[in-house]
Amino acid sequence: MEANNDSSSNLNWKDNVCTVPNVISIARLGAVPIFVWLLLGQERRLAAALLLGILGATDWVDGWIARRFNQVSDLGKILDPTADRVMFLVAIFSMLLDGSVPLWFGVITLIRESVVAIAALILAGLGARALEVTWLGKTSSFGLMFVFPFFLISAGTIGTQSVVWEVIAYSIGIPSLILHYYAAFGYIPLARKALSLHKE
């Protein structure tokens, strides 16, 4: 009887929309315009960096809650990576406009995120199931989510502090960016499998 109850509970969480991780993902999406306002509207780079760092941390938090308390849902599998990608794209584009991130670094990251986002839309249009984020993809994304706040802090400070934060940003950012591209190629066989399963 207890096994049946556990199975029913997991099924409910799977189909449930109102889970804590989903609420966090929605809140993360809602905070994106605030980031843009702080950076481009108010020119408060340090405040924008703090907000972006918090948003990056919540990405780890909602995943941990989902796994720890069995609150993994079908909506969450789509909502979480979507929130990540929207936050990434908007933050990078805003920082490029602001000049607070090196042009080459921002553009290369933006290209990768745009290609993956377009590929995800094509898969959805073809009716394939959404791809689950791989551990490597999650790890590289997590690293980059803190690299961009570091670039913001570097741009918002002067002298030695600015140089120190820039060095930290590059030290974490370059390995994370390489892993990010490597993870993107890892999605290719997963996409093929999802398409073949859909055709069956």
Report the C-alpha gap between 32 and 86 in whole angstroms.
8
Tokens at 51, concatenated = 């907000």
Report the C-alpha gap between 162 and 164 in whole angstroms.
6
Q: What is the pLDDT of residue 5?
A: 47
Residue 131 near residue 183 (C-beta atoms within 8 A): no
What's the domain range around 179? Answer: 2-199
Percent of the chain having pLDDT more than 70? 88
Specify the number of domains making up the chain: 1
DSSP letters, 144-181, are HHHHHHHHHHHHHS-HHHHHHHHHHHHHHHHHHHHHHH
Q: φ, ψ for residue 130 (rounded to 5)?
A: -65, 140
- Is the pTM here over 0.75, yes or no? yes
pLDDT tops 70 at residue 14: no
* CATH number of the domain within which 174 lies: 1.20.120
* Residue 23 host element (H or E): helix 20-36
Q: Which amino acid is at 190?
A: L
Count CB neighbours of 36 within 10 A: 17
pLDDT tops 70 at residue 12: no
